[in-house]
A and B are shown apart, each in its own frame.
Chain A
Amino acid sequence: MVKAIEVENLWYVYPNGIVALRNVSLEVNVGEKVAIIGPNGAGKSTLIKHFNGLLKPSKGTVKVFGIDVRKATVATLARKVGVIFQNPYHQFFSESVWDEVAFALRNFGFPEEVVRYRVTKVLRLFDLYDYADRSPFALSSGEMRRLAIATVLAYDPDVIVFDEPTVGQDRFQKEKIREYIKLLSLQGKTIVLVTHDIDFIVEGFDKVVVMCKGEILAVGKPEDILYDEELLTKANLIMPQIPRLIKQAEVYNTFKRKPLTEDDVVQKILEILRR
């Protein structure tokens, strides 16, 4: 399998001496959807900042499509890895939604006709085309979140990293974000999502990485990780609702595959009722 991101024995020490990452190793394959979970201060955000070269390793290596991040500029890596930051307010500055989306494209030197084509395409995709002339600050929080995603998708990076996308979002918005992730995945994008919202990752991820205190505690399939109570407790995380319910009801063995979502459970109940 082609590796999108390879992290090997990565250590990162902040200038104030805090060791944020300790011997972290991780591989993300092309087209994979990976969720990185862990409590606050686990080192999740520090890790993803290495993927586009915002931080350079103190020790160890990080490679993005074979490029050593130490040897490449942020601008070079940003073409391959788009990071969607937690707070849209930290990036918006343009007078219009259109200019905000065009910002990165112009930075990367795309010709103006390509900029026009891509901005139109991405604004239509995210239902923001009607707001193209509005100020980004005049949008609702859900629209701002969509705009933040659109600003990154416009330059079509191969890997898209979401930093805590669900913080402060209601259920409807969370479902929207989930839909966008699905859509991006269908387009063949590699997705890395960082969160401490464990209920968000029960659906649609190929791999879950558990981090705590700068270390990776486990990497595995969602159904294995999210049923491991001991591991989750160690990482200060609470088991998601469905695994908790199934474990408490001790009906674990009635399922062929460990259920993670309401749909999995509903299917099983319907199956039993039909019998």
Chain B
Amino acid sequence: MLSLVTSVYEMFLFRKKRQLLYRIDPRIKLIHLILVLTTIILTTNTYSQILILAYLVSLTFIGADANRVWKSLRSMLKMLLLFYIVIYVVNAFPKLLDLGIAFQSFMAIFRFFMLIYCFSLFFTTTPLDDLAQALYKLKIPYHIAFTFTLSVRFIPTVAKDFITVYDAQRARGLELEKGSLLTRVRKFLALLIPVFVVSFLRVDRVAEALESRAFGVARRRTFLYELKIRPLDIAFLTLSSIPLLLIVYSQYYLIT
């Protein structure tokens, strides 16, 4: 549980680095994200899925901090394994062993993993201020763009609160791993309630801070550093689209 929270914390916490993806305009990265997601949805066969994974891994090593991306994903693997077991059992029941269903279930989880991978790659390399500006430049009202990025910004904070609460309750003898399922669910309340309370209090404070600084009064928004699409961004989008298009093409025209 804690490792999953740590994963979420790592995924949504931006730390500035020098690699390629960190320097790409967020609008371009957003288009790229949509392209990859579309490719994952459009392709269904095993080869195409493996090619997409190979593409994402290459992109990670070329343009992102592979160590951070891995940290944000590794604990998700445990959760995905659990999902896999549930999907398999639900589909294979009453049979115990069915290789066909085992493989189908694996592919479903594999696609889900790649969706998480794409988002991890996007959020670990994109500053949220830049994302808010990008959304605003894409004609989304600033208060909506800001609210969205603010929510994302608070994910690591809530994850951190969760870890603190977990420590505080363990220090009072709470052992989540002991007891029946019902007991464990009841014990879980000892974690959830403080996290909710702390989050609501924070939301209240943030709302007051925003209002006291006249948030939303000016209709037009200016930025200290304006985002500009440069030749590097265009080159990135063009070059990254080629393998994706080839994967989709191969799915429909080459692999039968």
The chain A residues found within 8 Å of chain B, CB to CB, are: 15-16, 49, 52, 54, 73-75, 78-79, 82-83, 85, 87, 89-93, 103-104, 107-108, 137, 151-152, 155
Contacts and interface: CB of A to CB of B under 8 A. Distances in A.
Nearest to B162: A90
A83 to B, nearest CB: 5
Contacts of A74: 170-171, 175
Contacts of B193: 92-93
Contacts of B175: 73-75, 107
B3 to A, nearest CB: 9
A155 B161 CA distance: 25
Interface stretch (B46-54, B85-93, B115-123, B194-202): B194-202
Interface size class of B (residues with CB under 8 A): 20 to 34
Contacts of A152: 172
22 contacts: A15-B6, A15-B71, A52-B171, A74-B170, A74-B175, A75-B170, A75-B173, A75-B175, A82-B171, A83-B168, A83-B171, A85-B164, A90-B168, A90-B198, A91-B194, A92-B193, A93-B189, A93-B190, A93-B197, A103-B190, A104-B172, A107-B172
B194 A54 contact: no
B173 A91 contact: no
Interface string B155-191: 0000001001101111111110000000000000111
Nearest to B201: A89
B203 to A, nearest CB: 13
B197 A91 contact: no
A36 B220 CA distance: 50
Contacts of A78: 170-173
A-B interface, 3 closest residue pairs, ranked by CB to CB distance from nearest: A107-B173, A93-B193, A104-B172
A78 B173 CA distance: 6
A85 B171 contact: yes
Max chain A Cβ within 10 angstroms of own Cβ: one of B168, B172, B193, B198: B172
Contacts of A93: 189-194, 197
A16 B194 contact: no
B164 to A, nearest CB: 5
Nearest to A152: B172
A91 B172 contact: yes
A221 B192 CA distance: 43
B150 to A, nearest CB: 21
**Majority SS of interface residues in chain B?**
helix
Contacts of A108: 173
Given A15-B71, A89-B201, A90-B164, A104 B194 contact: no
Contacts of A83: 168, 171
A151 B71 contact: no
A90 B169 CA distance: 9
Contacts of A137: 197
Contacts of A85: 164, 167-168, 171
B104 to A, nearest CB: 34
Contacts of B174: 103, 107
A91 B161 CA distance: 11
Max chain A Cβ within 10 angstroms of own Cβ: one of B161, B173, B193, B201: B173
B141 to A, nearest CB: 33
A256 to B, nearest CB: 42
Contacts of B168: 83, 85, 90-91
A52 B6 CA distance: 21
Contacts of B194: 89-93
Nearest to A85: B168
Contacts of A107: 172-175
Given A83-B171, A85-B167, A85-B168, 14 more contacts: A52-B171, A54-B167, A75-B170, A75-B173, A79-B173, A82-B171, A90-B168, A92-B193, A93-B192, A93-B193, A93-B197, A103-B190, A107-B175, A151-B172
Contacts of A103: 172, 174, 190
A206 to B, nearest CB: 24
A47 to B, nearest CB: 14
